Structure 1
Amino acid sequence: MENKVTKLFNIKYPIIQAGMVWNSGWRLASAASNSGILGVLGAGSMYPEVLREHIIKCKKATNKPFAVNVPMLYPDIDKLMDIIVEEGVKIIFTSAGNPKTWTKWLQDQGIVVVHVVSSVKFALKAQDAGVDAIVVEGFEAGGHNGRDETTTLALIPMVKEKINIPLIAAGGIATGKAMLATMVLGADGVQIGSRFVASQESSAHQKFKQLVVDAKEGDTQLTLKELAPVRLMKNKFYDEVQELYKTSPSVDDLRTLLGRGRAKKGMFEGDLDEGELEIGQIAGLIHEIKPVSEIVKEIISDFEETKRLAMSL
């Protein structure tokens, strides 16, 4: 299945396991890479030395390429970047910030740079900044998201007609059928997050994984746009946010309610009432916690079978 994405990352299949905070530790990333896709460490939930530890363990667990995702709002981002270079990581996904800030510096160190965007406007900015590829993430995605609420199937072709660098689709993708659909629309590969949350190797708490498996359509909602739009599972904390909105709260009111560490509390520690539970709409289609290797095999098998049937029509 060789194409622009597999060549860029030196992987077997054009699939990226998303770098998700509190979910994407070295066990998940190495298992993903060993399955023929690109594993990604989620540095957004790691102190600098914790990231170094995960990189070292990931290098021991796989001899395949893997990447690190770095949200550019991270307070010690310069320390993270230095560690990534020192430890010899060759691929980095940046997000939530201006790609011009780090792209050239990283590329000068021999690192492939991919930037995550949620609109045509930011896709063009990322291309102008010189990134090697972009992840285009639709409104369906879990975690922090774009404000415009453009869906993946609408966004991919709109971005495709404006750029000439590899395009990786994200948001609402958990099956081979969805992978094929986005590639028909112009994507060169896909980034999958929520499906890998419900994997045995994910660092998420077992309670959160089970909640994802039990989720149904309509159990998530994009909220907190005044701070940073985020798709959350509906729970006690989500209900408190909605009650606060009835009072026309200020940004400071919302920030006070959010506090610190809610994502860790929910996804990593398993507090399903007070935690911030970030997951995509596609959770309603995830019904079982499985090893990463099985998930990848199922996606590729589904992709190939759907492609075969489509060509026979």
Structure 2
Amino acid sequence: MRGVFVDANESLAVIFDRLRKDGDPDMRVHRDPDITPEQYPAILDGAEIAVVDHTALPTEIARQCKGLKDVVFLGTGARSYMNPEELAELGISVHLIKGYGDTAVAESAIALMWASARVIAMMDREMRAGNWLREDGMQLTGKTLGLIGFGGIAAEVARIALGSGMRVIAWNRSPKKYPGVEFLEFDEVIDESDVISIHLLLNDDTRGMISRACIEGMKPGVILINTARAAIVDEEAMIDALKSGLIRHAGLDVFNTEPLPKDHPLTSLPNVTLSAHSAFRTPEASENLIFAAWEHCRRIAGGG
């Protein structure tokens, strides 16, 4: 059985090669993170396994990949890049990797929250332009953090926020318990939170879940953090709320179009802190990610 890591950046390629063991399936590393979907058939060249970091795999392209049976997606957000149900109809299974970067993403969400509360990026930009901007920030101790979705990442966010003296409330689709966290109805979390952080997988149920009506129901001056998936939030409604001040500040790591275009409205709003879909990028998380990818490939090659 053959496989290809189709879009490896150099750092992930080095880890992938280092974690290779004797007896592993024949896995080739294509060291180019900037491929286009149309290149899949040639890069795979009949291989049965594709390890995919971030390159979209449209169903019509997958149909052209003769021999492809398994896609190992490096993360949990495969639906942003492919349609697993349509691929299943072609006999292609999509395998996800969960939990590899819970701490990394949680720390990034916390960093965006503090940067947003104290407008660090705004002051940095102004000072570099020669302006001595002194802006009042929001003190987070004693404030209420609302978590929308409560998996491993949200649990890590809760742990850090509780330690900093915040009240933490959460909503999850299935019942959960976590020490110090109050689990409430969705509308209650939206209504009571000074900071809202999104921690949901993207699917048909969550797409657009943070709607215009939902945003209009938020506490005036709320901070919104999204390290999950951009499509969960109505982008136009969020931008309108940022312009009106209903949302005091947004800290965003994910976008509907990536890379984010230079002329996108979000790039011109002063009350937004942006990071380039990099919340999960730490050496520790990358090690966990590639270890799990190899385990998937070994299991697949072994008939599991």
TM bucket, shorter chain? 0.3 to 0.5
More helix by share: 1
Compare CA radii of gyration and give the structure with the larger one. 2
TM-score by length of 2: 0.33
TM-score by length of 1: 0.32
